[in-house]
Amino acid sequence: MAEHESHAPQEATAQVATAGARHGSEHHSFERHGSEDSVEQRHRKILVFAHVGRKEARDAARQACTQLYEEGLAPVMTRSDLETLSENWDEPVPVQVVHESVALIDIELGVVLGGDGSILRAAEMVRRTSVPLIGVNLGHVGFLAESEESDLTETVRCIVNNEYTVEERMAIDVEVWNDGKRVHSDWALNEASVEKGNREKMIEVIIEVDCRPLSSFGCDGVVMGTPTGSTAYAFSGGGPVVWPEVEAILMVPLSAHALFARPLVAAPTSTLAVEMMPGNGASGVLWCDGRRTVELDPGSRIEVRRSEKSVLLARIHPAPFSERLVRKFELPIRGWRGPQDTEKH
């Protein structure tokens, strides 16, 4: 896992339309200070991505935007999030709109307010750029999040002062093939899971690594994921916990009826595949990061390989991964004594 220092925004390579002319009269509140201090001219642009369907996320987004603006940075949101946020915002600050008044590649950093699902959605949004994300957990476990809701003010302060590092997390590209034709392409940060489409009927699959078959069995599904996803769906399926520094692709069978149906850890250069055997006529479903789906016909072939583009996650707490595991999963460590000095003096 590589680390980088916080970086300045990249030069825009695409033209964007100016927001305000079409929407200014309808949403004048978030642009009313534009003549006093042009937010468009502020060099550092921070995307605020929130699960605005929840009140606590809306409140946190307003707080983050206000603090960023007061510190001289330019808060940025999506049009739909901003329209929801601007309702009942008593003292709004200017907020730019991504893809309209600012290009996505001009964003320095994305602040994600929500749970792991929100971080995965934000990762999908920025995956073709070099925009790092920092998560503020408003959910339950929030394993991908860097800080908690109570630390929001301090988190924004660290962003303002460039007090963060950036680490790479590998992602995977996913392809679905049928009759020798690629019929679907997708992407995931955590995992791609092939699952049965009928509750009563399991799927028959052949698993493959690097164009070589390993085994066939009936199962409820197969998860193919990244080290980042090892604490997500693969974890609940009995897969190993893999440290983020390790580069690998995982394969975890779900409720498989076979002796050799163990979790596999393959090289990051490997291509993993699941072939759905057409014999029993069972269809399946492909899930990527638990939210995007496509129907899988009998005989479908699903291939997974490392994506060329990594996802960047910003960190302000340099704690080891083991500490994050203990904290997030509330693991019992009482009685631990630590390394003992065996040297005799």
Annotated binding site for NAD(+): 116-117, 121, 190-191, 201, 220, 231-236
Per annotation, catalytic residue among 59, 81, 106, 116: 116
8 Å CB contact between 110 and 133: yes
59 belongs to the catalytic site: no
Burial class (CB in 10 A: 0-12, 13-18, 19+), 133: buried
In whole angstroms, what is the distance from residue 31 CA to residue 86 CA? 11
In whole angstroms, what is the distance from residue 155 CA to residue 163 CA? 9
Query: What is the identity of the amino acid at 12?
Result: A
Handedness of CA 118, 12, 66, 324 (dihedral sign): positive
24: helix, coil or strand? Answer: coil
* Binding site per annotation, positions: 116-117, 121, 190-191, 201, 220, 231-236
Query: What is the identity of the amino acid at 57?
Result: A
Residues 6+ apart with CB under 8 A from 41: none
Q: Are strands 221-225 and 191-196 parallel, antiparallel or unpaired?
A: antiparallel
Q: Provide φ and ψ at 230, rounded to 5°.
A: -65, -20
Catalytic residue numbers read 116
